[in-house]
Copies of this chain bind each other. A is one copy, B any other.
Amino acid sequence: MIVGGDGYCGWATALHLSRLGYEVAIVDNMIRRHWDATHLLDSLIPIAPIERRIAAWQRATGKTIALYVVDVREYAPLAAAIEGFRPDTIVHFGQQRSAPFSMIDREHTVLTQVGNLTGTLNILYAMRDLAPHAHLVKLGTMGEYGTPNIDIEEGYIEIEHNGRKDVLPFPKQPGSFYHLSKVADSDNIAFACRIWNLRATDLNQGVVYGLSDETAGNPDLANRFDYDGLFGTVLNRFCVEAVVGHPLTVYGAGGQTRSFIDLRDTVACMELAIANPPAPGRLQVFNQFTEIFSVLELAERVQRVARGRGLACRIEHRENPRIEREAHYYHAKNTSLIGLGLQPHLLDDHTIDMMLDIALTYRNRISSSLIPPQVGWDARAFGASAKDEADVAHATP
């Protein structure tokens, strides 16, 4: 059962697991499509309505995917879906997942935290009462850890202090109200596993980019591709900027260093996590990323590949809408999923080329006004998008 199965990671995961022979159900409230509409955004790649997606998958493969249009913030319909489908595994992607969205204003902060926490609590109670042997695979984020000056472990750290030792939850310093909601989720899940003997895996995922295999080639199976200032992620944005002749915009110094993962590896990680549940009573934590880059390094890689294709491409530093360290130590472990057999797709020139191909294919759908950040972390007015749009050179190769 894939909660949030209509989303970017969720849809890719649903198809990947279905192809592998899992019986898959999607639970989704379609809210992300609504937020796109109300914030005047759109995926670069057009996506079909969920029922058309599922029908196309059945036509292409003969495999069925069950659909529950359910908002997990409401317990009764969630419980009915779980009683109807009887999942062995519940994969939970069904959350507000954008840091800038959570920072828009008080209403969006409360919506993010209340919605995300309530959904997870409802799933935990439903597991306790209706599916106590199921395995919860919960999407966390590497952003929960922040950027400590020590190595980031996978969920737990052994601390020696005043001559005594304990293995404790790794201290978290998240950088947005969204990331804070994920930390609270992790704490709630750990507690529920302990008192109710549930089992769960928290996947602290890095920034995801690219597309998975199952969604290619059929427009009705296509996955979303976000490049906008609210839901877009940085590598997608750089590729779109390169294609429309917009400077690659690095916010601040660009030394912000983060962990990254290709969507093809995300779906492989889901497969590995599902196949390797922890013992009852335990929350296991895997860091789900394959490589670490600074934002400036990423921009330079895209610039090099784009220039190789004849795209004029310069890098520009802009004011950083976030409040974050722009130069810092960053080293995180990711040995668990590698140890279980993950074979990473690294970010080589070929992958960047494929992403530039996507941006070129849908070039006429790119709206440059969506590219700049709209939301500042400290209540400054952001979103001088008209001014920014003037920077765009519309004449590109």
Contact residues of A between 349 and 397, Cβ < 8 Å to B = 377-379
Contact A149 B171 (CB under 8 A): no
The digit string for A155-174, where 1 denotes a CB below 8 A from any CB of B, is: 00101111011101111111
Q: Which residue of B lies closest to A192 (CB)?
A: B177
Knowing A150-B165, A159-B150, A187-B184 are in contact, say whether A378-B196 is a contact too (CB < 8 A).
yes
A177 to B196 Cα, complex, angstroms = 13
Q: Which residues of A contact B (CB under 8 A)?
A: 75, 106, 109-110, 113-114, 117-118, 121-122, 125, 128-129, 148-151, 157, 159-162, 164-166, 168-177, 180, 183-184, 187-188, 190-191, 194-196, 323, 329, 377-379
B171 pairs with A159, CB closer than 8 A = yes
* Residues in B neighbouring A157, C-beta threshold 8 A: 159, 161, 171
When distances are taken between beta carbons in the complex, the residues of chain B under 8 Å from A117 are 113-114, 117, 184
A191 to B176, CA, bound (A): 8
**Residue in contact with A150 in the complex, picked from B149, B166, B169, CB distance below 8 Å:** B166
A205 CB → nearest B CB, Å: 20
Contact among B113, B149, B165, B187 with A165 in the assembled complex (CB-CB below 8 Å): B149
Q: Distance (Å) between the CB of A178 and the closest chain B CB?
A: 11
Could you tell me the distance in whole angstroms from the C-beta of A382 to the nearest C-beta in chain B?
14
The distance in angstroms between the C-alpha atoms of A155 and B278, with both chains bound, is 31
When distances are taken between beta carbons in the complex, the residues of chain B under 8 Å from A176 are 191
In the bound assembly, the distance between CA atoms of A180 and B110 in angstroms comes to 17
- Known contacts A157-B159, A180-B184; 12 additional CB pairs below 8 A are A110-B121, A113-B118, A113-B188, A114-B117, A114-B118, A149-B165, A150-B162, A157-B171, A171-B171, A173-B190, A177-B191, A195-B323
Interchain nearest-CB distance for A79 vs B (Å): 10
A324 vs B161: C-alpha distance when bound (angstroms): 23
Shortest distance from the beta carbon of A377 to any chain B beta carbon, whole Å = 5
User: When chains A and B are docked, how far (Å) is the Cα of A183 from the Cα of B164?
Assistant: 24
> Number of copies of this chain in the oligomer?
2
23 contacts between A and B (CB under 8 A): A106-B121, A106-B122, A113-B184, A114-B117, A117-B184, A149-B165, A150-B159, A150-B160, A150-B165, A150-B168, A151-B164, A157-B159, A159-B159, A168-B171, A168-B173, A172-B187, A173-B190, A174-B187, A177-B188, A180-B184, A180-B187, A183-B184, A184-B184
- CB pair B164–A149 under 8 Å, yes or no, is yes
Cβ contacts under 8 Å, A166 to chain B: 148-150
Q: Could you tell me the distance between the alpha carbons of A122 and B106 in the complex, rounded to whole angstroms?
A: 7
Chain B neighbourhood of A114, CB < 8 A: 114, 117-118
Q: How far is the CA of A148 from the CA of B75 in the complex (A)?
A: 34
Q: Is the CB of B121 within 8 A of A113?
A: yes
How many Å lie between the Cα of A171 and that of B166 in the bound state?
Answer: 11
Determine whether the beta carbon of B379 is less than 8 Å from that of A196.
yes
Alpha-carbon gap, A379 to B325, bound state (A): 44
The CA-CA distance from A175 to B329 in the complex, in Å, is 33
**A129 partner residues in chain B, CB cutoff 8 A:** 379
Whether B128 lies near A379 (C-beta < 8 A) is: yes
Q: Which of B75, B109, B150, B173 contacts A125 (CB 8 A)?
A: B109
In the assembled complex, the Cα of A191 lies from the Cα of B122 at a distance in Å of: 26
Whether the Cβ atoms of A195 and B378 lie closer than 8 Å is yes
Give the complex CA separation of A125 and B108 in angstroms: 12
The reply to whether A329 and B170 contact each other, CB–CB distance below 8 Å, is no
